[in-house]
Amino acid sequence: MTAINGYNPYAALGSAYARTAAATQPSLLDALNAAETGAQSDPNAATNLTLSDAAKAKLASDAATPDFTTVTNDARAALDKLYAAAKVNGPLTSDGKTTVDLSSLDRRSLFAIATNNGGKFTPDEQSVASQELTGRFNAALAPAAAATSMTKNYTVVYKAALDYLDGASTEEKATSAWATQRAAVLKGYEAAKQKPDTAPSVSGDPVAAYLAKYPDGAPAGTTKTFTTVATDARAALDAQASLAAENKTELVYDPKRKFGQLVDFSSFDNRSLSAITLNQDQKFSNQEIYAAKKELDSRTRASILSSLKQSQQSGDPSQLSLGILQSYSAMSDEERQASGWTVSFRDNVLQQYKSTSNILSMLQGA
């Protein structure tokens, strides 16, 4: 992976955010707690504020979210730990290649690094963090862009971009860069809703820039070999088995078993589950294969049900086919093989989408 050279779009944002957030204000939760304390001590208080469970949960979640200074300090410590583990002194080699993997850092931490919040990060660190953020934006768009490439429905990729932008932290949303990007994407989305088969033309549109660079939908990325994925999955299962043994029990794969430590696949991505399911290198037992296949099938069903729910909520039956096409595009070849999602299956779903869209167009024109 090579580093980004030249302009870092996040570089100027850190100091601007710091100036905006310099004055610390009491949180809404603090104010409500104070109000509640006052109400309890004063029996003649005129107002009794009652919050719904959802509101209380939201406030509790906000209160548990670390402030940006803490996030920044943790990001600095995380980088230093990565350097120590890799036995390097910085994020780049002399020929500009990255030395550490930033995938373990969340989006908010990466934003802190890319914007040099607190002046704690070097230009090279800002550059690789910016590159990682760009990669995550691309990864968020890739399945939807591939579906758009097949269906010629541009609302799909623009909706994916909107969802990604709306998932930004409050610090990122406070920047003019985020506001400008979101305004352009929203304008493109609204245009696509009017003419789904026509690519919107909007100044400063990051989706249009992505599609111009990757017309087929997905960038060619460097991924682990499937053998490496299988080896890592084997090591992860062995680690769980060792932990179970330390706890004087055994690792089990059937939830109906009354004794033992049930295998935990929550940290396994779908490609890892596919490596276990396909067992190409003969590394896994029948029990492990069965459990991994069951977990993979469960995730596949959840993906389809999510698309079905979106179709029902929107009143647009074509959303089901679109969702399945996006899921297909997001899969590796091994995941498709393990899930039984063939090219023929994809073509049938695509044909169903086109037929449904044609019927809807006829009804709308009637």
Neighbours of 319 (CB within 10 A): 21
Closest Cα partner for 204 from 225, 241, 179, 229? 179
Choose among 112, 220, 106: nearest CA to 171: 112
Closest of 2, 223, 222 to residue 93, by C-alpha? 2
**Token match 């090579």: residue?**
2
> Nearest to residue 353, comparing CAs of 168, 210, 197?
197
Every domain of the chain and the residues it spans: 137-213, 226-297, 299-365
248/240 Cα distance (integer angstroms): 13
In the predicted structure, residue 264 carries a pLDDT above the cut 50: yes
- Model pLDDT, residue 145: 92
For the chain, give the percent of residues with pLDDT over 90: 66
| Token representation of residue 43 | 């029996």
**Mean pLDDT score, 102-124:** 97
CA 13 to chain centre: 22
| Averaged pLDDT for residues 146-165 | 93
Residue pair 148/217 in contact (Cβ under 8 Å)? The answer is yes
3-state secondary structure of 189: helix
Q: How confident is the model at residue 15 (pLDDT cuts 50, 70, 90)?
A: very low
pLDDT for position 217? 77
Residue 79 has pLDDT above 50, yes or no: yes
Query: Cα separation of 121 and 119, whole Å?
Result: 6
The residue that leads in pLDDT, 17 or 82, is 82
Residue ranges of E strands in 149-294: 251-252, 261-262
Separation of alpha carbons 137 and 180, rounded Å = 16
Q: pLDDT class for 60, splitting at 50, 70, 90? A: low
What pLDDT is attached to residue 224? Answer: 76
Per-residue pLDDT band at 61 (split at 50, 70, 90): low
Element (H, E) at 74: helix 68-86
Q: Is the pLDDT of residue 5 over 80?
A: no
Q: What confidence category does residue 24 fall into, taking pLDDT thresholds of 50, 70 and 90?
A: very low
Least confident of 91-105, 167-181, 205-219: 205-219
The confidence score (pLDDT) of residue 263 equals 96
Neighbouring residues of 195: CB distance < 8 A, sequence distance ≥ 6 = none
Please report the pLDDT score of residue 366 as a whole number.
Answer: 52
Q: What is the pLDDT of residues 141-151, one digit of tens each?
A: 998 998 999 88
Per-residue model confidence as pLDDT tens digits over 314-350: 888 999 999 999 999 989 999 999 999 999 999 999 9
Q: What is the pLDDT of residue 336?
A: 95
Q: Which of 116, 120, 125, 114 is nearest to 92 (CA)?
A: 125
pLDDT surpasses 90 at 41: no
Q: What is the pLDDT of residue 340?
A: 94
Tell me how far apart the alpha carbons of residues 196 and 214 are, in angstroms, rounded to a whole number: 19
So what's the pLDDT on residue 65? 85
Place of tokens 């932008």: 165
The reported pLDDT for the residue numbered 59 is: 60
CA dihedral for 107, 112, 113, 114, sign (positive or negative) = positive
Nearest 5 degrees, angle CA 190-CA 195-CA 198?
105
Query: 28 vs 56, 58, 109, 163, CA distance in Å?
Result: 11, 11, 24, 26
Tokens 């295998």 belong to which residue?
263
Band (40; pLDDT cuts 50, 70, 90) = very low
CA–CA dist 99, 88 (Å, integer): 7
Kindly report the average pLDDT of the chain as a whole number.
Answer: 85
